[in-house]
Structure 1
């Protein structure tokens, strides 16, 4: 079966495909590939430690991390990095 294109709504197709290869669902891969800063590569994205807890929380919300409302800033960062 040939690879289907994820569609025009995906901002970062390479990241999307890499996540799908790792076994992520289509929806989760799309959320991550379309999240703010996804198009920034090579260390150009703002470091989590330099962001406010609200900014990190908003990113965790976009990605769909469960239990984020009770997490500390450090826990949110860890969840984003390991998600």
Structure 2
């Protein structure tokens, strides 16, 4: 069934996506959360808050997370820059 919305058919929970976008979330973040909430095997609201603050991570751990997210320029970033870009992705 095709959805008639501005963000396309890949978004599984349109209401959540739109609410997150209105709150200032990036398109990628809003899509990731909306699709996770629509998936019965994932519980994003339950999983949150278990990771330690980025300041407690090593630079290598931050780099690996940036790599998972496909952040460009990560190899030249300092620990502080990695933290900033991860928080804003």
TM-score, normalised via structure 1 length: 0.56
- Rg comparison, structure with higher value: 2
Given candidates 71, 76, 80, the residue that maps to 2:82 is: 76
Which residues of structure 2 form unaligned runs of 5+?
37-43
1:58-69 correspondence runs (5 A): 58-69=64-75
1:64 Cα offset (Å): 1.1
Flag the structure with higher helix content: 2
1:51 Cα offset (Å): 1.0
In 2, Cα distance between equivalents of 1:69 and 1:45:
23
In 2, Cα distance between equivalents of 1:57 and 1:81:
13
In 1, Cα distance between equivalents of 2:59 and 2:75:
11
Query: What is the number of equivalent residue pairs in this alignment?
Result: 69
TM-score, normalised via structure 2 length: 0.53
Which residues of structure 1 form unaligned runs of 5+?
8-12
Given candidates 37, 47, 53, the residue that maps to 1:40 is: 47
